[in-house]
Chain A
Amino acid sequence: MGFFEGLLFLLWTVLKIMLIIVPLLLTVAYLTYAERKVIGAIQVRKGPNRVGYFGLLQPIADVLKLLTKEVLVPTNSHRFLFLIAPILSLAPAFAAWAVIPFSDTKVLADVNAGLLYVLALTSLGVYGVIVAGWASNSKYAFLGAMRSAAQIVAYEIAMGFALVGVLMVSGSLNLGDIVRAQEGSIFHWFWLPLFPLFIVYFISGVAETNRAPFDVAEGESEIVAGFHVDYSGMAFALFFLAEYANMIMIAALAAIMFLGGWLSPIPFIPDGMGWFFAKTAFMLFFFLWFRATFPRYRYDQIMRLGWKVFIPITIVWITVEAVAILLEIEPWFAIRSAA
């Protein structure tokens, strides 16, 4: 590839990235609106209803408010790391979208090791939290960072094992091929043969994104707001953005790996991008529902759930799968040969 050819390719790719990032940012904005409306409905309140019709302009108003606020840097904090931490948590949350297949053909980078790439990038998000907690030079922020580091390391193992189960039945690390291996109807999707892994994956995903009921890194009642206690204005907004982008990411991955991505649930209805978005929205609703329903886990209970419950469940189910594939038992074996 020559220099100008390469440059042209680069510009074209940047354009495509924009096509993903801009709708993603809008989705994040309206996910916060949806969250407040859903939780409002669950608690028999109205939720935001003042700015625009039905409060529809509320997210825009919030963004404007955060943009105009001053970013304060605490004394004796590590200035460079303090300012780079929100970017460290946001960048992996966006970069992971490169390999997400929106439909059979629409994917930015159709790489062979897509699943590994997603796992690697989601594991990088924790640096934002740790660096923020340390650079703030505050006890509360530091405690939040410590909690988050231990929690994410614990749940990443369960999550990784759940994904090992997926790649065993699909026989591929490519996300597009994983979806194609689920062709058929709703009963051919991986949620059925991999049901325990689906549950473990999604709950670990909630824990990885620091969402309620696993939000001990923030823990308002104990450590004020955890790792982002000293952040204000746009720096805070970036953490907020990263959290919601990660939520959408986890929901999209669950849709791809366990709910058949862009495939339609009933054979005679055509497949399409709409199904992928509908499934992602369906999984996102659980995040909001969890937050409105469950009280926060105690820290030692989170650790127990991750290490002593989820990891054994995933190991047992991977063994069951391996035996089923070896003995050529359906549906595990049939799905693999279809790939």
Chain B
Amino acid sequence: MDLKLIIFWVFSLVLIGAAIGVITTRNPVQAALFLVLAFVNSSIIWMLMEAEFLAITLVLVYVGAVMVLFLFVVMMLDVNLVPLREGFTRYLPVGGLVAAAIVLQMILLIRVKWVDASQYAQPLPKPADYSNTEALGMAMYTDYLFQFEVAAVILLVAIIAAIALTMRRRPLTKYQRPAEQVLVQKADRLRVVQVNSEDNQNPAVMSNYAAAVPAVAPGDTSVDDAIDDATEQGAKP
């Protein structure tokens, strides 16, 4: 028996198990982690098909970035799945119908012209120095350049739309201005007061120093306002 075939069976069984886990587990974090497992396994199956670029990109983009953000949100939201499942039996017939339609379409798609898999020519393995990445790049940037760029523009529009929809300018929010913070001078923040130690005995001179520092009465907000003003200018934190 071929070792490759055993590897294929092991990983596809784990893949199906993980996919079932995604929809049956009660805990949303567990469901997200099952999805990660499913992604990794399908990437290995792609690797067996010599599609190394797609396999690695699947892990890099979906597992490494998208699912991290998913987990981030799921952990923060603390979703309770019980109310989401309330209409399970009510929607079961509709769901079953949709599932049957999908399965039927897939069978029709695979069995176009009613040919068996055995009738297709067995694909020959590519030589070791064949670069999948290069072939994909060639196809994308020459034959399908227009479609590729249209897809890129659509993605860009989606990004800008997402930012535009969620961005709100709150007038009361205070922002730091790092450029001004970096450029701050010693003179802006520090005032050196020369205190002669002998003056401690002389109340008249001491009152001068006291006057230099504004006295803060309880409930007096003027000093807080002054600090707020300074923060808005970015001069003082």
Contact = CB atoms under 8 A, between A and B. Distances in A.
B72 A1 contact: no
B195 interface: no
A116 B131 contact: no
B218 interface: no
Given A112-B133, A130-B71, A117 B56 contact: yes
Interface in A137-176: 142, 145-146, 149-150, 152-153, 156, 173
B132 A3 contact: no
Contacts of B178: 301, 304
A131 interface: yes
A114 to B, nearest CB: 10
Contact of A3 (B3, B29, B72): B3
Given A1-B3, A1-B4, A146-B75, A153 B56 contact: no
Interface in B65-105: 65, 68-69, 71-72, 75-76
Interface residues of B, number: 29
A3 B2 contact: yes
B60 A119 contact: yes
B57 interface: yes
B1 A3 contact: yes
A303 to B, nearest CB: 11
B4 A120 contact: no
Interface of B: 1-4, 29-30, 33, 36, 52-53, 56-57, 59-60, 63-65, 68-69, 71-72, 75-76, 129, 131-133, 176, 178
A123 B4 contact: no
A113 B60 contact: no
A256 B149 CA distance: 33
Most A CB contacts (10 A, CB to CB) among B1, B33, B76, B132 go to B33
B75 A131 contact: no
Given A153-B69, A304-B178, A123 B2 contact: no
B131 to A, nearest CB: 5
Contacts of A304: 178
Nearest to A111: B52
6 contacts: A7-B3, A113-B132, A120-B63, A149-B68, A149-B71, A152-B68
Nearest to A131: B33
A124 B71 contact: no
Contacts of B64: 119-120, 123-124, 126, 156
Nearest to B36: A127
B52 A113 contact: yes
Contacts of A119: 60, 64
Contacts of B72: 130, 146, 149-150
A173 B69 contact: no
A273 interface: no
Say whether chain A's binding surface is mostly helix, strand, loop, or mixed. Answer: helix
Contacts of B76: 146
Nearest to B53: A113
A120 B133 contact: no
B57 A116 contact: yes
A156 B59 CA distance: 14
Contacts of A156: 64-65
Interface in A230-258: none
A134 interface: yes
Interface in A1-59: 1-3, 6-7, 10
B214 to A, nearest CB: 29
A315 interface: no
A81 interface: yes
B164 to A, nearest CB: 18
Contacts of A149: 68-69, 71-72
Contacts of A152: 68
Contacts of B69: 149, 153
A150 B64 CA distance: 12
Contact of B68 (A111, A112, A153, A173): A153
A85 B71 CA distance: 14
